[in-house]
Amino acid sequence: MTELTTPDPLHTALRLVRAQTAVVKRFDAGLSGLHGVSLSDFTLLLHLAQAPGGRMRRVDLAEALGLTASGVTRGLAPLERIGLVSREAAARDARVTYAALTPTGRERLTEMLYTARQVAADAFAQWPAEDLTLLSGLLTRLGGSAPDTARPATPPHP
């Protein structure tokens, strides 16, 4: 009979970070190769697509992504340049700006979702469904959440 030992939390955390890096590399390779975006770009676009009217205040987007406001601004700039996102001023408060998904952004995001689903399916191809369910539950307990990829993108705000 083998004795069970308590895993070292640091060792576990470092393994999680290493696994996360490997997953990000897979997504970045698939998304950049076909669509010219990174996983973080894709995640940002996904959040916008699911926001009411396809737009969010930059500060709310930063909170949803776990970034600083300046980090969101840096992430939005290239997406604005290629026409996937636009900047909108709030009608009632000129100090507030929104990041809005453009029609081109919505169209391209649909294509990116297909690619992302393929990358995820390939990454977990050999995993039994119960292992995926367990992993998903454990990551949720750690505070990991993701945008709902089953929910369609909302039309742009008029």
Domain edges within the chain: 33-123
Identify the bridge partners of residue 87 per DSSP, sorted by sequence position.
99
Give 62-75 pLDDT, tens digit per residue: 999 989 989 999 99
Contact call for residues 76 and 45 (beta carbons, < 8 A):
no
When pLDDT is cut at 50, 70 and 90, the band that residue 143 belongs to is confident
Give 35-56 pLDDT, tens digit per residue: 999 999 999 999 999 999 999 9
H/E/C letters for each residue in the chain?
CCCCCCCCHHHHHHHHHHHHHHHHHHHHHHHHHHHCCCHHHHHHHHHHHHCHHHEEEHHHHHHHHCCCHHHHHHHHHHHHHCCCEEEEECCCCCCCEEEEECHHHHHHHHHHHHHHHHHHHHHCCCCCHHHHHHHHHHHHHCCCCCCCCCCCCCCCCC
Q: What is the pLDDT of residue 1?
A: 54
Question: In this structure, which amino acid lies at residue 88?
Answer: E
Residue 12 corresponds to which tokens in the numbers above?
């576990």
Give 87-135 pLDDT, tens digit per residue: 988 888 877 889 999 999 999 999 999 999 999 999 999 999 999 999 9
Give 20-34 pLDDT, tens digit per residue: 999 999 999 999 999
Residue 132 corresponds to which tokens in the numbers above?
């995926």
CATH number of 33-123: 1.10.10.10
